[in-house]
Structure 1
Amino acid sequence: MDRLEPVPPLQSESLFVLCRAQDFDVTKYGGAAGADITQALLNAWKDACAATGTAQVIIPKGTYTLNEVKFLGPCKGQINFRIEGVVQAPADPSAFKSDAWVVFETITGLTVFGGGTFDGQGQQAWKANDCSLHFDTCRLLPTNVRFNFITNGVIHDITSLNSKMFNLFLFGGNNVTFQHVTVTAPENSLNTDGIHVGRSTGVKILDTTIGTGDDCVSAGDGTKDLTVSKVTCGPGHGISIGSLGKYDNEEPVVGVHVSDCTLTNTANGVRIKTWPNSKPGSASDISFIGIVMNNVSNPIILDQNYCPHAICDKQPSRVKVSGVKFENIHGTSATQECVIISCSPAVPCENVEIGEINLVYNGPLGPGNSTCLNVKPTFTGHQVPPICVPPNAGTTA
C-alpha cells in the first residue's frame, strides 16, 4: 500500500520532505515477532531494491531475531529502512562468519530510521574478547551495523545496543548524516566504539547520545569534512581522531570539526592519537570548540606516542599534525594532567592554536597542569591551567 512518509535529511530545524513510498513490510513476507526474520527481511529488501521511486522496508514494533545479513545495492530508487521494533543478534559470537552483523552496502539514497533498536547481545562476546592481551592476533568481533559505500545517506532516530564490537561503522561514505542516534553499551565492553568513520567525505554526526566502552566517536584515516556537533558522550574514551599511522598507505585526515559537545566521566576528552614508529601520514584542519568536560580524564590530549598495550617501537611517529585549534573548552578534569600536547620530534606539530581553556582539577595532587612536547602553539584568551609554560612544558621544538 502506498502512503506518505517523511524522508530526511533531518536537521535541527526538523525539515521533512514528503514523498510517496511503496511499503515492503517484513510481516507480509512471513516475518513474525518472536521469530527469525532473516530470510523474510532479505526478500523484502530484494523487492524494495528493485522498485523504482521510493521504497520502504518496514520492521514493525515487536522483538525479532536476525542472523548475519547484508543488504546490497545499488538499488533502483531511494530506500527507506524503517525499523520500529527490536532486532536481536545471535548472542554467541561463533555464529558469525564475518566482522559485521547488519551491513548496508553500495547504496545511493538510504535512510535508516524509525525509533527501533539493533540489539547486538554482546555480553557473551565481551567476555571472550582478548584483544587487550593479543591485540595483533585476536579475532575481530562483529560490528552491530556497518555502512559501506553509502552516498546521500541519513541514519536517525535509531538505537544501537550492546554491540559485540563497534556499534556503527561507516566506510567509504559520501554525504552521510547521523542524527538523534543513541548508542548504549557498558563501560567495560571492549572495542565498542560508538560511531566510527573511515575513508568518508562529508559526514555529520549531530544531536546524538553515546555511552560505550571505547571512543564515542572515532575518525580513521581518509576522513574528510567531518562535523561532530551536540554529541553527549559518557561513559567512553572520548571523541578521537585516530589512531593513525599503523598501516601502509593510510589516507590523510582533513577537516574534522567538533563543537558544542559534552563529555562526562570519560577516560579521555578530545583526542588525536598516532602510533610511534608509524607509517607516514597527515592530519590537518582540525578544531575542537565549545566542549564541556565533566570529570574527564585527560580532557585535551594530542598523543603522537599512542601505545595502549605498552609494546611499541620507540621510534617517533611520522604522521604530520597541523592546523589544530582548541577553543572554549571548560569543566573539570579527573586527572592532574588537564592538557597533553605531545607531538613527534620527527615531524613536530605546526599551527596549533589554543584559545580559552578553563579546566579545573580538584584532586589531592595539587592544581592541574599541562605537558607540551615538540610544539609551539599560539594563544588567545586565558588558559587554566597555564599551557606550555615552564616548568610544565617539558622540552619544546
Structure 2
Amino acid sequence: MDKDYIQIMAVYCMFVMALIVRNHAVVVDIKTKGAKGDGITDDSPAILSAWKEVCGGPPPSSLVIPPGTYMSLAIMLAGPCKGPIEINAKGATLKAPPELVKFSKDSWIYIRNVDKLTMIGGTFDGQGQQTWMGTKCDETMACPVPVNLRLSNLKNLVLKDLTSINSKNFHLALRGSDNSRLENLVINAPGNSINTDGIHIAKLNGLNITNSKIGTGDDCISFGEGSRNIHIERVSCGPGHGFSIGSLGKFPNEEPVEGIFLKNCTITGTTNGVRIKTWPNSYPGIVRDIHFEDIIMNGAQNPVLIDQEYCPNKACKKGAPSKVKLTNVSFKRIRGTSATKVAVKLVCSAQVPCENVEVADIHLTFNGGPATSECSNAKPKVVGQNVPGVC
C-alpha cells in the first residue's frame, strides 16, 4: 500500500476520533438530575450530581442551570476534572437559605482545584439580611459565616456576566487562582451590611477585573497577602469602603503584595477611596509596585490614603510602628470631590518609611473649596499640578 496513502488515512482517522470525542462531551442540565427550580426545594443534590458527571466526563463539558430560581444548601464542587468545565447559569437565580444555622462552614458555594473553569451568568443571592443583624463581626473581627462564592486553586478561571447579591460575608473570595479573568460582574449589598467585601483576593499571580459594578458594606475589592500582578479597569465602587490593599502585617510570614494596577475607575460615596492599610506593631512584610491612575472620586471620604496605623476596634497596640515596607507607590490623575477635609493622607511607618511614593496631577475639592493633605514618615515625589498641594 502506498506510504502517502497510509499517512493520509492515519491523519483522517485521528480527525474522526477527535470529532467523536468532541461529540461525546458531556452537557448536563441540573433538571435532568431532579432539580425543581421552585425556589423552595433544596436543589443542591441535583447540582452536585450534575457536577460529578461533567467533571468526570470527556472535555469540554458543561453544567447547565436553566432559567428559574433554585434553593441550595452549602455545596463543594471539587476537581481535578478531566478537562475544561463551563457552568452556564444565564437567567438563573440561586438562593442560599437565610438562616445562618443551616451552615456549618464558611462557604456557601465552594469551587476548587479545577483548571480552565468558565462561569457564565447567574444571580447568587446569599440572603444575608438576618446574618448582618445578628452577628458582631464589626466588634469581634471574627466572622464564621459563609462567603457567597469561594473559589480556590482555579487556574485560568473566567467569570462573566455574574451577579452576587446580599452575601452573608464576602461575595467572592478568590485564592490561589492564577491567570484568571473577571468581567461584567455586578456585586450588590446595602452600605450597612457587615463584612460584605465585594471581591477578596489572596495568594494568586495574574488577574484581570474589568467592566464591573460593586456596591457593598465593606471593601469593594480587597487585596490580601500574596496578591500579585493584578489589573483592574473600568470598575465602579460605591457604597462601600473603597479599594483596599490590606490590611497587612497582622500575621507572620505574609507573602508580598506586588504589581497592583488600578485605573479608569469611579468611586462614589464610600468611606475610603484608594488606600493601603497595615497594622501597627506588625510583623515584617512587603508592599511594592502599587499604582492608582485615572480615578474619579464622587464624595468619597479619605480619597487617597496610606494608613500604616490601621487599628480598628482597638484590636492592636497602636504605639509601635508597622514593619510592612511600602515601595514604588503612585497616585496619578485622581479627580473629583472629597467628603473629608483631608483628601490626601499619607501615614507611613516610622520604622520603615515609605519609599518612592509619587503623587501626580491630583485635583480634589472639599465642599466646593480647597481640601488639605497630611503626611508623616513620607516624602512623596510630587509631579504636575496638585489640588490640594501635597505635604
How many angstroms apart in 1 are the aligned matches of 2:248 and 2:34? 46
> In the alignment, which of 312, 317, 333 is matched to residue 322 of structure 2?
317
Match of 1:31 in 2: 35
* CA offsets 1:79-138 (integer angstroms, 9 cap, x no match): 001112101001011111111100110000100112x10100000000112022222xx3
Query: Which letter maps to 1:88?
Result: K
Match of 1:207 in 2: 211
How many angstroms apart in 2 are the aligned matches of 1:249 and 1:19? 49
- 1:249 alignment partner, SS class: coil
Query: Which letter maps to 1:336?
Result: K
Deviation at 1:358, TM superposition (A): 0.1
Query: Which letter maps to 1:326?
Result: F
Relative to structure 1, the CA distance from residue 19 to residue 242 in structure 2 (aligned partners, 3 Å threshold; closer, same or farther) is farther
How many angstroms apart in 2 are the aligned matches of 1:24 and 1:245? 45
Asked if structure 1 preserves the Cα contact closer than 8 Å seen for 2:119 and 2:158, the reply is: yes
Match of 2:357 in 1: 352
How many angstroms apart in 1 are the aligned matches of 2:222 and 2:136? 21
- 1:384 alignment partner, SS class: coil
- Could you list the runs of 5+ residues in structure 1 that have no partner in the other structure? 1-17, 389-397
- 1:132 alignment partner, SS class: helix
How many angstroms apart in 1 are the aligned matches of 2:274 and 2:148? 24
How many angstroms apart in 2 are the aligned matches of 1:29 and 1:91? 24
Is residue 385 from structure 1 mapped to residue 388 from structure 2 by the alignment? yes
Query: Which letter maps to 2:201?
Result: V
How many angstroms apart in 2 are the aligned matches of 1:200 and 1:264? 28
Asked if structure 2 preserves the Cα contact closer than 8 Å seen for 1:201 and 1:223, the reply is: yes
Match of 2:106 in 1: 99
Is residue 271 from structure 1 mapped to residue 278 from structure 2 by the alignment? no
- Give the structure with the larger helix fraction: 2
> In the alignment, which of 252, 255, 261 is matched to residue 259 of structure 2?
255
Deviation at 1:19, TM superposition (A): 10
Please show how residues 122-133 of structure 1 align to structure 2 within 5 Å: 122-133=128-139
Deviation at 1:59, TM superposition (A): 0.7
How many angstroms apart in 2 are the aligned matches of 1:222 and 1:268? 23
Deviation at 1:33, TM superposition (A): 1.1
In angstroms, what is the RMSD of aligned CA positions?
1.4
Match of 1:8 in 2: none
Match of 2:245 in 1: 241
Match of 1:51 in 2: 57
Query: Which letter maps to 1:128?
Result: G
Relative to structure 1, the CA distance from residue 336 to residue 19 in structure 2 (aligned partners, 3 Å threshold; closer, same or farther) is farther
How many angstroms apart in 1 are the aligned matches of 2:345 and 2:84? 46
* CA offsets 1:42-99 (integer angstroms, 9 cap, x no match): 0000000011221110111111100000000000011001112101001011111111
- 1:27 alignment partner, SS class: helix
How many angstroms apart in 2 are the aligned matches of 1:311 and 1:72? 36
Runs of 4+ in 1 over 3 A off after TM superposition: 18-22
Match of 1:373 in 2: 376
Asked if structure 2 preserves the Cα contact closer than 8 Å seen for 1:19 and 1:54, the reply is: no
Relative to structure 1, the CA distance from residue 21 to residue 186 in structure 2 (aligned partners, 3 Å threshold; closer, same or farther) is farther
Asked if structure 1 preserves the Cα contact closer than 8 Å seen for 2:29 and 2:63, the reply is: yes
> In the alignment, which of 98, 110, 118 is matched to residue 124 of structure 2?
118
How many angstroms apart in 2 are the aligned matches of 1:190 and 1:240? 16
How many angstroms apart in 2 are the aligned matches of 1:217 and 1:79? 26
What is the percent sequence identity of the aligned residues?
45
Query: Which letter maps to 1:108?
Result: D
Match of 2:94 in 1: 87
Match of 1:169 in 2: 173
Deviation at 1:311, TM superposition (A): 3.8
Asked if structure 2 preserves the Cα contact closer than 8 Å seen for 1:20 and 1:54, the reply is: no
Q: How many residues align?
A: 366
- 1:151 alignment partner, SS class: coil
Deviation at 1:21, TM superposition (A): 5.7
Asked if structure 1 preserves the Cα contact closer than 8 Å seen for 2:126 and 2:168, the reply is: yes
Please show how residues 151-170 of structure 1 align to structure 2 within 5 Å: 151-170=155-174
- 2:234 alignment partner, SS class: strand
How many angstroms apart in 1 are the aligned matches of 2:48 and 2:296? 43
How many angstroms apart in 2 are the aligned matches of 1:146 and 1:312? 28
Match of 1:183 in 2: 187
Query: Which letter maps to 2:288?
Result: S
How many angstroms apart in 2 are the aligned matches of 1:220 and 1:261? 20
Query: Which letter maps to 1:244?
Result: L
- 2:42 alignment partner, SS class: coil
Asked if structure 1 preserves the Cα contact closer than 8 Å seen for 2:24 and 2:58, the reply is: no
Asked if structure 1 preserves the Cα contact closer than 8 Å seen for 2:382 and 2:390, the reply is: no
- 1:108 alignment partner, SS class: coil
Query: Which letter maps to 1:48?
Result: V
Match of 2:287 in 1: 283
- Asked which structure has the greater CA Rg, the reply is 2
Deviation at 1:22, TM superposition (A): 3.2
Query: Which letter maps to 2:37?
Result: A
Asked if structure 2 preserves the Cα contact closer than 8 Å seen for 1:174 and 1:202, the reply is: yes
Please show how residues 290-329 of structure 1 align to structure 2 within 5 Å: 290-313=294-317, 314-329=319-334
